[in-house]
Amino acid sequence: MGSGLRVFGQFQYPTPPLRVTEKRTRQAVDRLVTHQFDRNGNRLWAQAKALLDHGHARMRIRQVAVPFGICVEPGNVKAGGHACPFRFRCLGCDRFRTDPSYLPDLRVYLDTLLRNRERLAAASELDDWARTEATPSDEEINRLRHLIRRVETDLDSLTLEDREEIREATATLRKSRTVQLGMPTVRPPAASLRLDRDA
């Protein structure tokens, strides 16, 4: 198969090979770990810090992927992401982490919440209590909007070179990432891995 170009925002990058090597994955993790945020949008790593081999191994066994970030809750990690004690309320949990590689997923999730809120408001077949329970809360929507803005602001503050490195790291991690969880999922983002904020 011939090589091609993949477009991210205004930039084009060579299409990566089908197999993502462990070395490339580690480099991508090192690049993005300094841009990791908690549920409140607070940076978790104040300074750039490359992880040693044992650091990567420790990260892998102490966290599990969720649809728009990672979870470090021990019981859920031990169960491979199938045993969240909080019914997967990631945006309200202190054990949730995210980084720019999840930005497309965060945006899709926000769109899904807004769409669901409108659909449920118009659903005449539901009892009030059922509609209230099923409707996404304003708190969750506001938290998600704030988190997206925080990640976007962090990216906006970077140099052009740093943003390109983040895009490459994001493409590498998203290519190697597979999430199979026993929890509700959101539809996958469009093929474009746009990290730029909306115009």
Judged against a pLDDT cut of 80, whether residue 2 lies above it is answered with no
More confident residue, 27 or 148: 148
- What is the mean pLDDT of the segment spanning 92-105? 91
More confident residue, 25 or 13: 25
pLDDT classification of 23: cutoffs 50, 70, 90? confident
Comparing CA positions, the residue from 177, 170, 136, 197 lying closest to residue 10 is: 197
Q: How far apart are CA 197 and CA 199, in angstroms?
A: 6
Judged against a pLDDT cut of 90, whether residue 6 lies above it is answered with no
Neighbours of 129 (CB within 10 A): 8
Q: How far apart are CA 36 and CA 139, in angstroms?
A: 22
Token code pair at residue 136: 């996404």
Comparing CA positions, the residue from 197, 44, 23 lying closest to residue 106 is: 197
Task: Name beta bridge partners: 65.
Answer: 70
Considering the entire predicted model, what is its pTM?
Answer: 0.66
Judged against a pLDDT cut of 70, whether residue 5 lies above it is answered with no
The per-residue pLDDT of the chain, averaged, comes to 76
Percent of the chain at pLDDT > 90 equals 35
What is the pLDDT at residue 54? 47
More confident residue, 136 or 6: 136
